[in-house]
Chain A
């Protein structure tokens, strides 16, 4: 047989084989892509879950200055649960709204020896939450219907502790408020934010080495706790240079 004859006889087989291989390739690639996407979804979900711990650490342990005292929510929350002063509650709400994104669901409940964290109903859809709110002074700082919740007990005093509920996902740790621990670092952050006119979102806040929280808004810097309205917009403020000169210490500014 000559070479041409061989090709002539096997041509239909070759065509069929090529078509079959192409079909196999398309289907297998489809299956592979589908499976990989499903698996990576699960993985990122788990990684997101790890970030809950970073969120809790950041939320509870970020040092801030309020009423001329250095503190953190880990101290403010149990103190409120013990003393139940309305101004303490306002402070917790304000610091929370500065530190966290508004859509981060967080629920805070004061508990005592008779009520444990696990007793607080965590079904948002049930009416129990409402009843509980009235009876036990649960503070809903920002509630979005979520089911994937992490509940922790914040240590407090003998008859008053607190439960904090945060959702396990839907936040971005890159959106945490900037903290500066040295004058040089603080100065460069102030210059950067004012140069780029960053006056929206968490990036417009910065915590100075003195632990005062500053907000950049309308080309001015103001104390985020005492000089902002309910939407955290500055009511009055100082220039970037003035803020750098007083090293971010509200008492000196």
Chain B
């Protein structure tokens, strides 16, 4: 038979045991050790993967705008590069300065540099790596390939880098610009009427300046989507160029 002291000690003993064991159990299941970190890492990996997909999708969307804006700037600068435009003001300046000459290769290269510089400026602001741009022609289309071998994404203890490669196809015919250039530099012109008769391109606008003839040609509008049923892009490429005028002594 248990005595009275025995009846008091035993429940206290049980309470202590329950307290100690349940605290142990709680600590065991809520262990924030390696298992928890492993779980966090997987979540971070999945979240980072989704974040990177979103960011890269936005980059690819932005690339289209950079291509269009670069073409607009390229056409406005007569097809000259930003380096050439400092020295070359007229299409026939190549007669005085070899660096001012243009041909199909140079036009394509100049456009490529415009796109690459513009897109990399944006990419840097987004905290992503630099891209190399390549351009190919296919009928009346230009295919721009963007490539960055090392786009880094980081979140807490997770970091990965991917090779980001994508293409943007736009309807723009570089042959037209080359054709216009070849016709325009063939011979010097005395005035706008003379120039328009010789160049023979419809809707080519010409204005006379003191020493030069100034031309503008409004090209087709761009579209956001692949077909003409999509929204029109707000900027239109306008080819602007100047030619020296024959000064006839009176």
Query: Which B residues are in CB contact (< 8 Å) with A57?
Result: 54, 57
A4 at the interface (CB under 8 A from B): no
Nearest-neighbour CB distance to chain B for A47, whole angstroms, equals: 9
**Residues in A lying within 8 Å of B, measured CB to CB:** 12, 16, 20, 23-24, 27-28, 31-32, 35-36, 38-39, 46, 49-50, 53, 56-57, 68-71, 74-76, 78-79, 82-83, 152-158
27 contacts between A and B (CB under 8 A): A20-B14, A20-B17, A23-B14, A23-B18, A24-B18, A27-B18, A31-B25, A31-B26, A35-B30, A38-B30, A39-B30, A46-B47, A49-B47, A53-B50, A53-B53, A53-B54, A56-B54, A57-B57, A69-B229, A69-B231, A71-B224, A74-B61, A76-B231, A79-B231, A79-B234, A82-B234, A155-B122
A53 to B234, CA, bound (A): 28
Q: Are B22 and A28 in contact (CB under 8 A)?
A: yes
Q: Are A157 and B14 in contact (CB under 8 A)?
A: no
Q: Is the interface of A mostly helix, strand, loop or mixed?
A: helix
Closest to B224 in A: A75
| Contact residues, B25-54 vs A (CB, 8 A) | 25-26, 29-30, 43, 46-47, 50-51, 53-54
Q: Are A157 and B224 in contact (CB under 8 A)?
A: no
A76 to B61, CA, bound (A): 13
Query: Which B residues are in CB contact (< 8 Å) with A82?
Result: 234
B81 at the interface (CB under 8 A from A): no
Contact of A70 among B30, B47, B62, B230 (CB under 8 A): B230
Interface string of B44-79 (1 = CB under 8 A from A): 001100110110011101100100010000000000
Q: Are A35 and B29 in contact (CB under 8 A)?
A: yes
**Residues in B lying within 8 Å of A, measured CB to CB:** 2, 10, 14, 17-18, 21-22, 25-26, 29-30, 43, 46-47, 50-51, 53-54, 57-59, 61-62, 65, 69, 122, 126, 224-225, 227, 229-231, 234-235
A39 to B51, CA, bound (A): 24
Q: Is the interface of B mostly helix, strand, loop or mixed?
A: helix
A158 to B231, CA, bound (A): 18
Q: Are A157 and B65 in contact (CB under 8 A)?
A: yes
Query: Which A residues are in CB contact (< 8 Å) with B225?
Result: 70-71
Nearest-neighbour CB distance to chain B for A58, whole angstroms, equals: 12
| Interface pairs A-B: 10 shortest CB-CB | A155-B62, A53-B50, A75-B224, A71-B231, A35-B29, A69-B231, A46-B43, A27-B22, A70-B230, A20-B14
A73 to B128, CA, bound (A): 24
Closest to A30 in B: B22
Q: Are A71 and B30 in contact (CB under 8 A)?
A: no
Closest to B57 in A: A57
Query: Which A residues are in CB contact (< 8 Å) with B22?
Result: 27-28, 31
Nearest-neighbour CB distance to chain A for B79, whole angstroms, equals: 20
Q: Are B69 and A158 in contact (CB under 8 A)?
A: yes
Closest to B46 in A: A50
Q: Are A155 and B61 in contact (CB under 8 A)?
A: yes
Q: Are B25 and A28 in contact (CB under 8 A)?
A: yes
Query: Which B residues are in CB contact (< 8 Å) with A83?
Result: 234
A158 to B61, CA, bound (A): 14
